[in-house]
Amino acid sequence: MKKGCNRYFALACSALFGLYLSNAAFAADVAKLVEPCFSCHGKNGNSADPDVPNIASYSEDYLTKTLKRYQDKERPCIETEIRSGSKKGTKTDMCKIAAALSEDDIDQIGGFFVAQTFERTPQAFDAGLAEKGKSIHNKRCYTCHSEGGSEPSDHAGILAGQKMAYLRQQIKFFREGKRPMNKKMKPKLEATDDSEIEAVINYYGSFK
Ligand code: HEC
Ligand code: HEC
């Protein structure tokens, strides 16, 4: 009999032990699923590279929806390289990566990253532009990107402390119609000119 169990509790104990085993198996599965993500997005989803977004703390809703969008090639499939580990230098893209995942894999990955802590990126920004960007954000963006875009439950990614180069590229995709956009975000982005966009990006970059 397992340690700590006596014959009265044997049934409950073995049920608990079974639960422990299935949890351990789950943890091992998740580790195998997220390890490849770390090789670009950094350990637990905080990346060191300006073109790779941090995904730690992302809501399950946003993360799973986004991976399905890459599966359907609704977002641009940008060729990129694995940044670290044994496959370092291998070319791939987010659409190929998502295509290899089952629906259950995607759910498990979503459950993992939501539990991680988002580390804001230390990056150079222009303080004057950030100030201007803050007022634009508070006028046009805050209803869906609350607290400077730092609230995972908005299900819209994380903007505060996100990589500025990544944000610049994604806003360009939205404006060029290459990435699907929330219907109500479209007019807000259209009302924002190039210099205002740069200001808003500096505002997000200013979060420490
Ligand atoms: C080869 C490097 C690489 C690997 C491996 C990789 N990613 Fe990415 N990922 C990127 C890059 C670069 C971007 C940003 C550009 C783009 O959209 O492709 C990105 C974008 C994303 C986004 C969009 C973020 C947002 O704010 O909308 C999510 C979500 C994501 N990856 C999740 C994952 C998950 C989960 C894994 C592991 C299963 C993974 N990635 C593996 C490089 C990688
Ligand atoms: C009506 C709600 C709404 C408004 C207003 C809005 N957004 Fe968004 N935004 C969203 C949603 C929802 C998403 C997630 C889209 C998706 O499913 O990929 C998003 C995504 C984004 C992203 C991509 C995040 C990522 O991780 O890739 C950026 C950047 C962004 N918004 C910037 C802005 C800016 C700048 C403004 C103001 C000018 C703005 N948004 C106004 C709803 C909104």
The 10s digit of each residue's pLDDT in 96-119 is 999 999 999 999 999 999 999 999
- Is 2 a member of any domain? no
Ligand 2: atom nearest CA of 166 is: 27
Please report, for residues 17, 20, 48, 83, the alpha-carbon distance to residue 164 in angstroms, rounded to integers and kept in the order given. 47, 42, 12, 19
The domain of 103 spans 11-113
- Is 120 a member of any domain? no
Separation CA 195–CA 138 (nearest Å) = 16
- Is 168 a member of any domain? yes
Among protein residues, the one with the nearest Cα to ligand 2's atom 26 is 157
Cα of 45 from ligand 1 centre, angstroms: 10
pLDDT at residue 10 greater than cutoff 60:
no
Report how many domains make up the chain: 2
Quick count: other Cβ atoms within 10 Å of Cβ 6?
8
* Residues 59, 81 within the same domain: yes
- Is 43 a member of any domain? yes
Task: Quote the pLDDT of residue 16.
Answer: 61
Task: Quote the pLDDT of residue 68.
Answer: 98
Quick count: other Cβ atoms within 10 Å of Cβ 118?
20
Per residue in 147-169, pLDDT (tens digit) is 999 999 999 999 999 999 999 99
* Residues 28, 105 within the same domain: yes
Q: Is 90 a pocket residue for ligand 2 (Cβ < 6 Å)?
A: no
Q: How sure is the predictor about 3, in pLDDT bands with cuts at 50, 70 and 90?
A: very low
- Is 3 a member of any domain? no
* Residues 15, 58 within the same domain: yes
Cα of 164 from ligand 1 centre, angstroms: 15
* Residues 105, 152 within the same domain: no
Separation CA 82–CA 118 (nearest Å) = 21
Indicate the top mutation candidate among 34, 37, 41 to test ligand 1's pocket, ranked by most ligand atoms within 8 A of CB: 41
Per residue in 56-71, pLDDT (tens digit) is 999 999 999 999 999 9
Separation CA 43–CA 105 (nearest Å) = 18
Task: Quote the pLDDT of residue 22.
Answer: 63
Separation CA 129–CA 107 (nearest Å) = 39
Q: What is the pTM of this model?
A: 0.91
Which ligand has the shortest distance to the CA of 52?
Answer: 1
Cα of 84 from ligand 2 centre, angstroms: 30
* Residues 138, 103 within the same domain: no
* Residues 59, 20 within the same domain: yes
* Residues 47, 88 within the same domain: yes
